[in-house]
């Protein structure tokens, strides 16, 4: 194992002590409310971190793709929810059937057609099915009053419908965490009532995102939450007020390669940090050692950073830490995470599900 | 080899006939002007495509990182320019020295300090050095009138200075190709004159980007151009008018997973297409089979696409082709490119330099 200084930049470094604290805090909050925690593994894509989450009280994992499910199943995870409106055609259908024989598998649907395609693919094997509802993000998912129709069709096709799920993605905006959590609770409540009306008990009522998780406290309505980003946090969560500087567990180490007064260019660009930048973000990432600095431009291998005039501009060849805006896409660009504790490198963990999109 | 239909989506497919045409057209244009073509390999990161470019008349390759240089050197490329203001400290210094002993190597610098660090690292081995100048993009590079100072310091440190280079990145904007090429020519001309004044002959005067390449026609000023994207093109080049629909050689194949009137959600999101979206882009990508459709929202595994009301909304489970906004970052997310000719899969090429950031 090298020291941090011996590793050529850019690379992603993880403070594993902060990860453990974030993992424990979310588990404590969610279980204290009487809910199930099923963290989204798309953030870390790393079996070692999944094991930390499961050891801390998570019931199972959430993933976004069949290939992520395959990788975490191979790593020993036995309870997996693919929180995505899966189209179970072609080889993907056979892959789902193989997974269903290996782990406890739950799959999302949001249409009669996707339910029927899934039933054909699964062909009587056991999976749990949940109907995706749109709670205000307007991506996939049906309106709450249409959930019963999809659930009924799924049941008739031979699937076991166990409930509903939603992703309140509109929580990603300043001040949006609480109102998005309220939308989520309403949508889940309405869809659940509609399922009861057609004789289906929605025992799984799954919601959650990192910005809304703290507000999703009605266990009578929401039985399960699925945050992902909380394990590392990122510049978006910092700027949304979901976390503090001390909760940021992952950064890119970058070298200053070009310099002029109050401006540096570092070697971590969009191929390391990701290009995600919401309209409300103050820049392309944040620097924990220079809170008033801003990433004002980014290209593939350059981030241009401005600093306040009263701050000494970092020297050429020195290193700075940059927090990505969106940690999920930054991790998906890396083959390895450098694991540190108290500033020392203690391990190197593979991002095993990097690029697992199918 | 599978057929396209047998491969689970999402994946990147390349029409190799269009690639060959794009490669030949750029080589013909540049060599007819009496210039050297040194294409940027960061776009494709693929040795097979580099070999097509070299066979079509490219003199050598351009790369952005030492690790890209190492991968293309290992693949047999013998002439490599790292068009980046390299900081040659630590292990990166030893890696550069090893490369210099293996291939004809050219390296960028933009400061006295980076020149001195490079001279220490190289320790008398042979590399060519070029000074990066800022022609208006305001990223790295020095102002043209400061190039002579950096060049002189590099020479005194024992390096062989052969010229100057610039990246006119401000060509990425509607109507900016021609004026950015003019800025590039002025900056290179001014910096070259300054080098002559201190007794250094700038025999290499390197410029170019895909949007500005067609306007960089003054061989007396610019001896070499370094376009990258032209090999595939992308939605940005289409919307800038640099290419036509028929020049688009790479797309993501995606499945419709959710559907409502005039809107579909497909399974290629920012982890496949990249999140790049310039302020002037009309959306998150383009659909060659639906020119009036727009990618109005993107998350990691969802692209939300709206279609005009008079167009039949594609069915659930059907496939659509999506052109990424910025092909360089999309390719960097893939392990393989599926190579097609006349609609048939003919090969699968590894993106060998994917993630080669150090």
pLDDT at residue A70, rounded to an integer? 98
CB interface of B with A, residues 42-61, below 8 Å: 42
CB atoms within 10 A of CB A29: 18
Question: What spatial distance separates the first Cα and last Cα of chain A, rounded to whole Å?
Answer: 33
CB A108 within 8 A of CB A85: yes
Nearest to A300 by CA among B45, B181, B337, B187: B45
Q: Please give the pLDDT value at position B1.
A: 63
Q: What is the band of B129 on the pLDDT scale with cuts at 50, 70, 90?
A: very high
- Reduced to 3 states (helix: H, G, I; strand: E, B; else coil), residue B39 is coil
With beta carbons less than 8 A apart as the criterion, state whether B217 and B33 touch. Answer: yes
Nearest to A81 by CA among A104, A98, A110: A104
User: A317 and B113: CB-CB below 8 Å?
Assistant: yes
What single string gives the DSSP state of each residue in B58-97?
Answer: --SEEESSHHHHHHHHHTT--EEEEEEE----HHHHHHHH
Chain A interface disruption, residue of B87, B134, B252, most A CBs within 10 A: B87
Question: Quick check: A332 and B328 CB within 8 A?
Answer: no
Distances (CA, A) of A170 to A40, A275, B295, B299: 17, 20, 18, 12
B:229-248 residues touching chain A, CB 8 A cutoff: none
Percent of chain B scoring above 90 in pLDDT: 97
The residue of chain A nearest to residue B143, with distances taken between CA atoms, is A260
Asked if A328's CB is within 8 angstroms of B87's CB, the reply is no
Average pLDDT of B50-69? Answer: 98
Which of A4, A7, A8, A70 to probe the B interface (max B CBs under 10 A)? A8
Distance CA A67, CA A65 (A): 5
Check if the beta carbon of residue A40 is closer than 8 Å to that of residue A62. Answer: yes
> B interface mutation test: which of A131, A254, A258 has the most B CBs within 10 A?
A258
CA distance A294 to A262: 11
Residue ranges in chain A modelled with pLDDT below 50: none
**pLDDT reported for residue A1:** 63
Spatial distance between the Cα atoms of A118 and A120, rounded to a whole number of angstroms: 5
Q: Over 90: is that where the pLDDT of B278 sits? A: yes
From A26's Cα to the closest Cα of chain B, the distance in A is 23
User: In whole numbers, what is the pLDDT of chain B averaged over residues?
Assistant: 97
B335 and A357 within 8 Å at the Cβ level: the answer is no
- Over range B178-207, report the average pLDDT: 97
Are A223 and A201 in contact, with CB atoms under 8 Å apart? no
Q: What is the pLDDT of residue A17?
A: 98
Calculate how close chain A gets to B192, using CA atoms only, in Å.
21
Tell the residue number behind the tokens 């570092």, with chain if given: A266
Interchain pair A139, B299: CB under 8 A: yes
Q: CB distance from B72 to chain A under 8 Å?
A: no
A165 touches chain B (CB under 8 A): no
Question: Is B355 within 8 Å of A139 when comparing Cβ atoms?
Answer: no
Q: At what angle do helices A16-32 and A47-55 cross, to 10 degrees?
A: 40
Which of A304, A316, A335 comes nearest B355 by C-beta? Answer: A335
Residue A302 has its nearest CB partner, among B139, B265, B271, at B139
Strand boundaries in chain A, DSSP class E: 11-15, 36-37, 61-63, 79-85, 104-109, 128-132, 160-165, 204-207, 224-225, 250-260, 263-266, 285-286, 294-299, 302-306, 319-324, 336-341, 344-350
Is some CB atom of chain A closer than 8 A to the CB atom of B135?
Answer: no
Q: Residue B297's Cα: distance from chain center in Å?
A: 25
Q: Would the CB atoms of B95 and A5 count as touching at under 8 Å?
A: no
Nearest to B357 among A272, A275, A358 (CB): A272
Q: What pLDDT shows up at residue B344?
A: 96
The chain A residue lying nearest B140, using CA atoms, is A258
To the nearest whole angstrom, how far is the Cα of A15 from the nearest Cα of chain B? 21
**Strand, helix or coil for residue A237:** helix
Tokens found for residue A62? 């959430």
Q: DSSP state, B142?
A: B
Q: Could you tell me if B94 lies within 8 Å of chain A, comparing CB atoms?
A: no
Name the residue among B139, B329, B335 with its Cβ closest to that of A297: B139
Q: What burial letters (b/e) apply to A193-228, b meaning 16+ CB within 10 Å?
A: ebbeeeebebebbbbbbbbbbbbbbbbebbbbbbbb
Chain A closest-CA separation from residue B32 CA (Å): 30
């Amino acid at each position: 194992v090298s020291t941090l200084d011996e590793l050529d930049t850019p690379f992603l470094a993880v403070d594993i002590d902060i990860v453990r604290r974030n993992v424990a805090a979310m588990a404590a909050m969610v279980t204290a409310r009487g809910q199930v925690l099923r963290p989204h593994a798309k953030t870390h894509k790393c079996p070692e971190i999944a094991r930390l989450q499961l050891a801390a009280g998570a019931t199972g994992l959430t993933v976004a793709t069949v290939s992520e499910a395959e990788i975490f199943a191979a790593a020993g995870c036995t309870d997996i929810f693919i929180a995505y409106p899966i189209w179970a055609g072609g080889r993907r259908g056979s892959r789902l059937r193989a997974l269903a024989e290996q782990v406890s598998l739950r799959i999302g649907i949001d249409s009669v057609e996707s339910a029927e395609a899934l039933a054909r693919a699964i062909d009587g094997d056991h999976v749990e099915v949940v109907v995706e509802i749109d709670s205000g993000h307007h991506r996939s998912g049906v309106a709450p009053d249409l959930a019963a129709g999809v659930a009924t069709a799924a049941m008739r096709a031979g699937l076991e419908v166990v409930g509903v799920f939603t992703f309140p993605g509109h929580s990603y905006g300043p001040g949006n965490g609480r109102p998005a959590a309220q939308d989520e609770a309403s949508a889940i409540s309405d869809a659940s009532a509609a399922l009861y009306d057609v004789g289906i008990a929605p025992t799984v009522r799954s919601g959650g995102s990192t910005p809304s998780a703290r507000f999703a406290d009605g266990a009578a309505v929401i039985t399960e939450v699925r945050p992902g980003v909380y394990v590392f946090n990122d510049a978006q969560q910092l700027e949304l007020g979901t976390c503090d500087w001390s909760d940021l567990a992952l950064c890119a180490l970058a070298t200053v390669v070009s310099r002029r007064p109050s401006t540096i260019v570092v070697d971590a660009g969009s191929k390391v940090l990701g290009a995600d930048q919401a309209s409300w973000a103050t820049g392309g990432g944040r620097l924990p050692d220079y809170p008033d600095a801003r990433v004002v431009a980014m290209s593939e291998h350059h981030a241009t950073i401005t600093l306040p005039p009263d701050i000494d501009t970092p020297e050429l060849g020195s290193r700075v830490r940059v927090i990505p805006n969106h940690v999920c896409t930054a991790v998906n660009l890396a083959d390895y995470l450098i694991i540190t504790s108290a500033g020392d490198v203690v391990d190197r963990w593979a991002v095993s599900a990097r690029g697992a999109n199918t």
